Amino acid sequence: MLKRLEIAGFKSFARKTVLDFSSSVTSVVGPNGSGKSNVAEAFRFALGEQSMKSMRGKRSEDLIWSGSNIAPRANRAAVTIVFDNTKRIFPQLEFDEVAIERAVFRDGASEYAINGSKTRLRDVQELLASANIGETGHHIISQGEADRILSSAPKERRSMLEDALGLKVFEFKKQEAERKLERTEENVQQVEALRREIAPHIRFLAKQVERLDRAEELAKELRALCQTYFAIEEAYLRIERTATEEKLRIVSESLAVLEAELRTFEERVTVDVEGIKRSEAVRSCEKELDRLTGERSELAREIGRVEGALNEAKRRSVAVAHDPYVKVSRDDMTALRDEVESQVRAVEHADHGALHAALQTLRTAITAFFERYVSGSDDFMPEEEQVAHELAAKHLELMRKDTEFSESVAKARELLRNAREATMAYEETGREQNRRLLDLAEEKATAESERSRLASRMGELDYLYEDLEQGKREAVALVGVNALSYDAVQALPNEDRRAQEDRKRTMERLKIRVEEAGGSGEDVRSEYKEATDREAFLASELEDLAKSAAGLKELIAELDTELQKSFAEGLQKVNASFGEFFSLMFGGGGARLVLEEFAAPDEEDEEFEEDAQPKRAKNAKPGIEISVNLPKKRVQALMQLSGGERALTSIALIFAMSQVNPPPFLILDETDAALDEANSRRYGDMIENLSSKSQLIVITHNRETMSRAGILYGVTMGADGISKLLSVKFEEAVSVAK
């Protein structure tokens, strides 16, 4: 039910004006030019009318109070329609009162609000459609537009009828379903395009995975061998390092004890000039010896590392002995190695002359080897042999330096021994202590030699540990981190060290085969899984979209069926009421609405396509034609009706549509202007009949029409150009008159 209309700054209503509609029939009267028709246009404006022509304007600024010599112009026009929603004419809103407001500003912007909350025009239209207040304005008939339904095109006339029958709600639902279906079909095309795009990549990855599957057995074998080798090698290095560190600790402690005892003996030397000289000579020799032994210890550690690398290089050269590119024979390499080791052993206890002879022999053997395999032929040395050669040369150089250090240490010891003997000779007493001193010096030399050997062993273990870590990194790169998934070994297996070396050679060969086969392929498998998962997701999404599209098509079909059914039933009811009202207005005759018929295409028309007619019949809806039969007058077309006859016919049709599906309110703006006295009474009777189903707001000059109103609003306009409102309730007026 319509409660009130609030107007502020709209056209001639400069000040806020409120019209109360507590009566079923409200009449608005006033002289021409007073602004009474602006009331009907205010309704149109608030309900979302977009045609400026329908509101007698050219631009939105024309709807705003433009000002006068007394009142300044307004910057905003606003109209609010308030409905009583206690009977839930708007079922989607749980408010007892619903206010729909529209405001327009001078910059052309419009704002819509429902109960004070800003919203879209679309939301307002859908809300109004749920209460049979549609877009066509069939419920607002303004002055001069009474016969608009007669002069409209058949399709527009059908739209007005559908609006009056309350079918716009179904149309909105159908349009929304069609939009969703369109978006769904677009999504289907996008998903299908994505599937086509990734299909070649999936096929390529599938072939890669198939090849990797064939290489997986090699990877498993390598993984198991790596686990065994790494576990044993870690245990070996751990045990060896622990034992070597313990021996090195014991030797270092023994050296510390010997050095302390030696210092004790030296402190007993008589403090005199000669004794001081001899003691200083001893200390000088000791410092020099300490320096030399320290440097030799570092050299020994480096020799140990080189020997470890050399042994590994020799093992690698044996592992690739089957390489078809290796041209150097194993016997020649073995002969060279034996010769080098023989000469090194000879050097260890040789005098200076023998050292030179041994070095000369080594130089001759190595020169002959290089002349044969490097300089003198086209054959080349494989990388492993080259590394072994370089390490052997470096080892020889280090051994030469070690020999020189050995000579220097021997000389330093000799000098120290001489200095100590001189000191002991100088002393007349303590011969036993002096002999002990000599024994301590020998023991210290032996301990220093052992410490040097142990340091060399630590260097070799360091190299083996680095080689183990490198092997782990290579294994992880080839077969993944599972190569390191093994239990620690606490005790070494009862086997020769060469068994572990054999494992390593086998492991190196497997690494080459796995690498040639493409490694573990975890990245490829992961990418293949992601691609297949993506394809499965797209297939599932496509299936969901297909179901959604089918559901939307089914919904659209159901809505079409409902629309056709409701339209047919509504058309039948409107025709019944139309005939009655028409007969009442004209004292006989009849009128009815008929569906427009499409003309059949000419079969000989070359431009006509075969599927044109079925397509048109499926998508196009026939318009509405009006057939009339006046009493005592033969009329072939609506254009043959006079102005008065057209007015009566349009009124009869408007009232018939309102009778079948009554809107909450109906606004009639001087639709009775062309009626004579007799027809005015009939018009008044119809108004009273309609008022039982819809609220009526009648803008009129007709006294008969005024007499049927419960509330009468008078609109006046003074010199300031502002429309003002006066209201009279007939019931109150009658009681006052009595």
**pLDDT value, residue 158:** 85
Q: Decide: 21 and 691 in contact? Cβ < 8 Å.
A: no
Would you state the pLDDT for residue 26? 92
Any idea which of 22-36, 40-54, 250-264 has the lowest mean pLDDT? Answer: 40-54
* Cα gap 534→716, rounded to integer Å: 74
**Residue the block writes with tokens 């527009």:** 156
**What phi, psi does 725 have (nearest 5°)?**
-120, 135
Give 205's contacts (C-beta < 8 A, 6+ positions apart). 524, 527, 528, 531
Residue 130 near residue 90 (C-beta atoms within 8 A): yes
The β-bridge relationship of strands 723-729 and 711-717 is antiparallel
Classify burial at 632, counting beta carbons within 10 Å of its beta carbon; exposed 0-12, middle 13-18, buried 19 or more. exposed
Integer Cα distance of 658 and 679 in angstroms:
19
Q: What is the DSSP letter of 494?
A: S
pLDDT at 609: 45
- Please report the pLDDT score of residue 138 as a whole number: 58
Residue 318 has pLDDT above 80, yes or no: no
Q: What are phi and psi of 136, to 5 degrees?
A: -75, -10
Paired with 667 in beta bridges are 140, 697
pLDDT in tens, 472-512: 999 988 888 888 988 888 888 888 989 999 999 999 998 88
Per-residue pLDDT at 376: 45
Confidence band for 52, pLDDT divided at 50, 70 and 90 = confident
**pLDDT band of 226, cuts 50, 70, 90:** very high
pLDDT value of residue 137: 55
C-alpha 426 chain-centroid distance: 94
Burial of 716 (0-12, 13-18, 19+ CB in 10 A): middle
| DSSP type of residue 604 | T
Distance of alpha carbon 310 from alpha carbon 323, whole angstroms: 20
Q: In whole angstroms, give the CA distance from residue 188 to residue 541.
A: 9
Give the torsion through C-alpha atoms of 351, 353, 359, 365, to 10 deg.
Answer: -120
Question: What percent of the chain has pLDDT above 70?
Answer: 81
pLDDT tens digits along 11-26: 999 899 999 988 889 9
Strands 110-114 and 97-105: antiparallel
Give the pLDDT of residue 246. 94
The pLDDT tens digits of the residues spanning 350-371 come to 555 556 566 666 667 776 666 6
> Token digits for 665?
């309110």
User: Which of 306-324 are b and which e, b meaning 16 or more Cβ less than 10 Å from the residue's Cβ?
Assistant: bbbbbbbbbbbbebbbeee
Residue 62 confidence (pLDDT): 86
- The conformation of residue 325, written as its DSSP 8-state character, comes to T
Helical spans, DSSP H, in 587-642: 612-619
What's the Cα-to-Cα distance from 74 to each of 12, 15, 101, 104, 152, rounded to whole Å?
A: 11, 9, 17, 11, 36
Q: Name, in order, each residue with C-beta under 8 angstroms of 90's C-beta and a sequence gap of 6 or more.
A: 83, 98, 127, 130, 131
The fourth-level CATH superfamily of domain 2-164+587-600+612-737 is P-loop containing nucleotide triphosphate hydrolases (3.40.50.300)
Of 427-431, 466-470, 512-516, 622-626, least confident by mean pLDDT is 427-431
Query: Residue 666 belongs to what H/E stretch?
Result: strand 665-669
Give the burial class of 288: count Cβ atoms within 10 A of its Cβ; 0-12 exposed, 13-18 middle, 19 or more buried: middle
Q: In the structure, what pLDDT confidence band is assigned to residue 611 with cuts at 50, 70 and 90?
A: very low
Pair type for strands 76-84 and 2-8: antiparallel
Start-end of CATH 3.40.50.300 domains in the chain: 2-164+587-600+612-737
Q: Which of 709, 700, 702 is nearest to 681 (CA)?
A: 702
At 172, the pLDDT band (50, 70, 90 cuts) reads: confident
Instruction: Please tell me which residue, 193 or 675, carries the higher pLDDT value.
Output: 193
**Residue 333 phi, psi dihedral angles, 5° rounding:** -65, -40
**Structure confidence at residue 55 (pLDDT):** 78
DSSP code, position 154: H
**Residue 228 to residue 506: CA distance in whole angstroms:** 12
DSSP state of 91: T
Q: Residue 233 — very low, low, confident or very high, per pLDDT cuts 50/70/90? A: very high
Least confident of 264-268, 279-283, 355-359: 355-359
Within a 10 A sphere around the Cβ of 662, how many other Cβ atoms? Answer: 19
Q: Cα separation of 299 and 398, whole Å?
A: 7
Q: What is the mean pLDDT of the chain?
A: 80
Among 115, 163, 104, 72, smallest CA distance to 567 is for 163
| Structure letter (DSSP) for residue 1 | -
Whether 244 shows a pLDDT value over 70: the answer reads yes
Query: Can you give 118-142 as a three-state secondary structure string?
Result: EECHHHHHHHHHCCCCCCCCCCEEC
Which residue's entry shows tokens 């112009």?
73
Mean pLDDT for 451-462 is 91
CB 324 within 8 A of CB 379: no
